[in-house]
């Protein structure tokens, strides 16, 4: 829409508002003393005869100025950040790349590779033929809540883990498209766990290693079952629902260790990452996110890049009193691993409670990234993205380990699209931030100072108890939430699925009662600039900006998948499964599934040698809670304010978990 047209529309709207006021009984009178028209007086019928009508007197010149200003105001900032036109790295321009493992046609962990890039070298389905893609078989999970999980394919068997009650199905792919169930494992989690799961009872998928399928249950059990028979090998309870702990993340197996973390940042939970022995399930080490160095596993090898992250026992001294014991920093997102450096990378969640006034200090190590040696758990570096987080900007999003040409050199980096709205590119050996560029409209901060690693906060967005702060962008789920991005070494682009939401919020005093919410914030969300609530951004890490963007009406709450056929797959919350051109973003194909999609697309080679693409359909998660939990849209604060932005979802989709598998004819 042209700027001129926008202005005319805006003036038009203002006029309508004035007319509406008139219709409601407000009267406008001109204040015509001295024979000059100088002001409008708004009077409500009730106040007509009362003496304080002067309070409603608005100088006309002021009114005109305000209206004009409001109508000319353009989101210069957000616009400047949008790419002008689809721009691809011209051939010959150095682009980001990655060293790939040999393609085995399987999908053994949620992100496929340890580097977390969700890229398949299968190339039967291409940008040219994807329009012929059609569903070949489906499978109902019998569960109605949000299906965020990725299916796995190992040894011609597909494994599907449902949200609570965390049923694990093994489907036989060797029997053609009938894919019968080989076995089903039911861990029978405690039903009470549902009440302490902050944002629907989701699970982000199992992992395969050493002949076992390993997964977490909502009630904090890590379970290994025999991939061939479904027999339980071991079952270790690592958390406690009575403290508000749950588990929703997808484990990662590194060097005979199963790495798992907890959820519950809204319940006063203290975050941790644990390593369990792959063979026995016994806990080898626990690295807390808060507390003394001895418990955060910070020792002699700890060398953060920035002075702000150096010091003794920062996990205690950046809090007041014993608040670190209930301070959040849970580990419910993604873990990636660099075998050359022998380091695992993961982020920690928001500090608790959300109300920042109740936890003075930087609140380390919440909203941070850790690099750890998996053998011992020792931290090698850490970087806090959002010190003293104000808006629930968890740091748990995925870290893609790729190589990027940067200032004439190839740098081994980690790409981290954070909830605070910046894509961080960091040297993954040292934790140095090479660039941090916005991928959404941001009003809460003004960039990252690369000299000292500090996030520059906008002071006016720091709310106090009882104070309403408006126009907080991005909203609490961030510029991007858990939904994982993918990377194609063929285009050098990272495909970010994300939302475009802003919010108003009001701090309240939070009261800690173990096992109940510890939030202290009233939130009401709305769509960000442009009115579209979701986006798919193709991010060029070498250039530090978006190459192209697609807008979606609803938040893009599904993961993305990139393939060597130069196709990118993702789903929408109203149930469309889509394929777009990895180079240009051109829409190539779409199919409407039974329920909204918030799952992680994957692809595999079937026993018949054909390439298949699979996705779970089944709306829910935080963004879909209004449907999954039958929430009442009359309360805008429902689901921590998310319902306000998603009021129309019940008219666009219904619940129900189904797997869809697609192939070419």
Partner 1 sequence: MMLRPLACRARTPLLLVGAALAVVGCRREERRFRESPPATTPSAVRVSALQPGTMADTSHMPNPYESSAYAQSEGQRLFGWYNCAGCHANGGGGMGPPLMDDEWIYGSSPENIYNTIIQGRPNGMPSFAGKIPSPQIWQLVTYVRSLSGLTPMSGRSARTEHMNFYQGAQSMQGAQTPKNSFRPPASEFP
* Per-residue binding letters, 189-218, with partner 1 (x by CB under 8 A): --xxxxxxxx--------------------
Question: Does the annotation mark 266 as catalytic?
Answer: yes
466 contacts ligand HEC (rule: CB under 6 A): no
Among residues 562, 581, 606, the alpha carbon closest in space to that of 128 is found at: 581
Nearer to ligand HEC, 185 or 518 (CB): 518
Q: Which residues contact 411 (CB under 8 A, 6 or more apart)?
A: 403, 404, 405, 427, 434
| Residue 472 binds to partner 1 (criterion: CB under 8 A) | no
Beta-carbon contacts of residue 201 (< 8 Å; ≥ 6 apart)? 145, 146, 163, 164, 193, 194, 218
Q: Which of 462, 470, 529, 551 binds partner 1 (CB under 8 A)?
A: 470
Write out the H or E segment, with its range, that includes residue 18.
helix 3-23
Query: Could you say which of 149, 266, 338, 394 is catalytic?
Result: 266
Catalytic pick among 392, 394, 418, 506: 392
Of the candidate spans 140-148, 188-196, 331-339, 528-536, the one that interacts with ligand HEC by CB under 6 A turns out to be 188-196
Q: Cβ closer to partner 1: 485 or 503?
A: 503
Give yes or no for a contact between 344 and 336, defined as CB atoms under 8 angstroms apart: yes
Asked if 639 touches partner 1 (CB under 8 A), the answer is yes
Q: Are 492 and 98 in contact (CB under 8 A)?
A: no
275 is a contact residue toward partner 1 (CB under 8 A): no
Active site residue 403: no
Question: Residue 653 pairs with which residues in a beta bridge?
Answer: none
Q: Does 516 bind ligand HEC (CB under 6 A)?
A: yes
Kindly state the number of chain residues that form the binding site for partner 1, as judged by CB under 8 A.
Answer: 59
Residue 196 makes contact with ligand HEC by CB under 6 A: yes
State the minimum distance, in angstroms, from the CB of residue 258 to ligand HEC. Answer: 28
Name 617's bridge partners.
Answer: 658
Nearest to 602 by CA among 98, 100, 119: 119
Q: Largest Cα–Cα distance of the chain, in whole Å?
A: 93
22 binds partner 1 (CB under 8 A): yes
Q: Is 70 in the site for partner 1 (CB under 8 A)?
A: no
Do 547 and 83 form a contact (C-beta atoms < 8 A)?
Answer: yes
625 binds, among partner 1, ligand HEC, none (CB under 5 to 8 A by kind): partner 1
Q: Which is nearer to partner 1, 138 or 243 (CB)?
A: 243
Out of 266, 392, 552, 566, name the contact with partner 1 by CB under 8 A.
266
| Sequence-separated (6 or more) residues with CB below 8 Å from residue 612 | 136, 603, 604, 605, 606, 661, 662, 663
Does residue 195 touch ligand HEC according to CB under 6 A? yes
Least distance from ligand HEC to the Cβ atom of residue 241, Å:
9
Query: If you write DSSP's letter for every residue of 506-553 in order, what string do you get?
Result: EE------TTS----EEEEEEE-TTS--EEEEEEETTTTEEEEEEEES
What is residue 437's three-state secondary structure? strand
For ligand HEC, the closer of residues 194 and 560 by Cβ is: 194
Report the distance separating Cα 189 and Cα 184, nearest Å.
15
Least distance in angstroms from the C-beta of 53 to partner 1: 10
* Residue 470 binding target from ligand HEC, partner 1, none, CB below 5 to 8 Å by type: partner 1
The answer to whether 601 and 660 are in contact (CB under 8 A) is no
Look up residue 446 and give its DSSP letter: E
Residue nearest to ligand HEC (CB): 195
Length of the chain in terms of residues written:
665
Which of ligand HEC, partner 1, none sits in contact with 27, Cβ below 5 to 8 A by type?
A: partner 1
Regarding 518 and contact with partner 1 (CB under 8 A), the answer is yes
Per-residue contact track with partner 1, 586 to 625, x per CB under 8 A? ---------------------------------------x
Residue pair 160/139 in contact (Cβ under 8 Å)? The answer is yes
Single out the segment in contact with partner 1 by CB under 8 A; choices: 185-193, 273-281, 290-298, 408-416.
185-193
Stretch that binds ligand HEC, among 194-202, 439-447, 577-585, 598-606 (CB under 6 A): 194-202
Residue recorded with tokens 């290994």: 224
DSSP at 21: H
Comparing C-alpha atoms, which of 240, 250, 238 is closest to residue 202?
250
Strands 567-571 and 561-563: antiparallel
Question: Is the C-alpha dihedral spanning 335, 501, 77, 487 positive or negative?
Answer: positive
45 interface partner picked from ligand HEC, partner 1, none, CB below 5 to 8 A per type = partner 1
**Of 203, 262, 350, 532, which residue is the catalytic one?**
350
Going from the C-alpha of 166 to that of each of 204, 206, 518, the distances in angstroms are: 11, 10, 26
Indicate if 392 belongs to the active site: yes
Binding site for ligand HEC (CB under 6 A): 194-196, 516
Positions annotated as catalytic residues are: 266, 350, 392
Residues binding partner 1 (CB under 8 A):
22, 25-30, 32, 37, 43-46, 48-49, 191-198, 266, 468, 470, 504, 506, 508, 511, 513, 515-519, 522, 524, 526, 625, 629-640, 643-644, 647-651
């Amino acid at each position: 829409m042209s700027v001129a047209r926008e202005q005319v529309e805006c003036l038009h709207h203002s006029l309508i508002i004035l007319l509406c006021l008139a219709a409601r009984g407000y009267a406008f009178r001109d204040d015509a003393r001295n024979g000059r028209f100088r002001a409008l007086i708004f009077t409500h019928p009730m106040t007509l005869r009362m003496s304080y009508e002067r309070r409603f007197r608005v100088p006309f010149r002021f009114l005109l100025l305000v209206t004009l200003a409001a109508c000319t105001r353009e989101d210069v900032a957000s616009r400047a950040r949008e790419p002008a036109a689809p721009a691809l790295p011209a051939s010959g321009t150095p682009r980001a790349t990655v060293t790939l493992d040999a393609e085995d046609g399987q999908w053994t962990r949620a992100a496929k590779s340890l580097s977390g890039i969700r890229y398949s070298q299968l190339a039967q389905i291409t940008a040219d033929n994807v329009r012929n893609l059609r569903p070949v078989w489906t499978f109902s999970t019998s569960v109605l809540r949000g299906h965020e999980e990725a299916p796995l394919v190992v040894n011609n068997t597909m494994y599907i883990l449902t949200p609570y009650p965390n049923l694990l199905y093994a489907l036989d792919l060797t029997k053609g498209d009938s894919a019968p169930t080989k076995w089903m494992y039911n861990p029978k989690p405690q039903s009470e766990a549902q009440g302490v799961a902050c944002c629907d009872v989701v699970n982000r998928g199992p992992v395969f290693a050493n002949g076992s399928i390993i997964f977490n249950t909502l009630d904090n059990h890590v379970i290994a079952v025999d991939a061939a028979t479904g027999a339980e090998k071991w079952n270790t309870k690592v958390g406690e629902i009575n403290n508000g702990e749950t588990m929703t993340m997808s484990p990662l197996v590194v060097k005979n260790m199963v790495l798992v973390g907890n959820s519950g940042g809204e319940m006063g939970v203290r975050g941790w990452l644990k390593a369990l022995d792959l063979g026995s399930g016994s806990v080898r080490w626990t690295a807390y996110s808060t507390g003394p160095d001895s418990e955060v596993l910070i020792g002699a090898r700890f060398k953060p890049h920035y002075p702000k992250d150096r010091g003794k026992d920062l996990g205690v001294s950046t809090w007041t009193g014993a608040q670190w014991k209930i301070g959040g920093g849970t580990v419910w997102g993604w873990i990636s691993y660099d075998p050359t450096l022998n380091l695992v990378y993961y982020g920690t969640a928001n500090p608790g409670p959300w109300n920042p006034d109740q936890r003075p200090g930087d609140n380390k190590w919440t909203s941070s990234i850790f690099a750890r040696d998996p053998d011992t758990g020792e931290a090698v570096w850490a970087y806090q993205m959002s010190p003293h987080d104000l808006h629930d900007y968890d740091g748990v999003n995925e870290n893609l380990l790729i190589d990027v040409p940067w200032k004439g050199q190839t740098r081994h980096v980690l790409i981290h699209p954070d909830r605070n709205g910046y894509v961080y590119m960091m040297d993954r050996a040292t934790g140095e931030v090479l660039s941090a560029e916005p991928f959404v409209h941001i009003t809460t901060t003004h960039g990252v100072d690369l000299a000292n690693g500090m996030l520059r906060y906008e002071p006016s967005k720091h709310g106090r108890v009882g104070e309403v702060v408006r126009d907080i962008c991005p909203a609490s789920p961030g510029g991007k939430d858990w939904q994982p991005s993918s990377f194609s070494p063929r285009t050098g682009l990272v495909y970010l699925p994300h939302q475009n939401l802003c919010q108003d919020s009001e701090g309240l005093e939070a009261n800690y009662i173990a096992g109940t919410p510890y939030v202290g914030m009233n939130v009401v969300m709305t769509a960000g600039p442009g009115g579209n609530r979701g986006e798919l951004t193709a991010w060029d890490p070498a250039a530090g900006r978006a190459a192209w963007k697609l807008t979606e009406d609803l938040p893009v709450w599904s993961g993305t998948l990139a393939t060597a056929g130069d196709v990118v797959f993702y789903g929408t919350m109203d149930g469309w499964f889509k394929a777009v051109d990895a180079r240009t973003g051109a829409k190539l194909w779409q199919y409407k599934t039974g329920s909204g999609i918030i799952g992680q697309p994957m692809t595999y080679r079937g026993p018949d040698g054909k390439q298949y693409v699979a996705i779970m359909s089944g709306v829910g998660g935080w963004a879909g809670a209004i449907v999954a939990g039958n929430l009442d849209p009359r309360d805008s604060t429902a689901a921590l304010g998310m319902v306000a932005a998603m009021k129309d979802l019940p008219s666009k989709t219904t619940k129900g978990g189904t797997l869809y598998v697609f192939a070419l004819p």
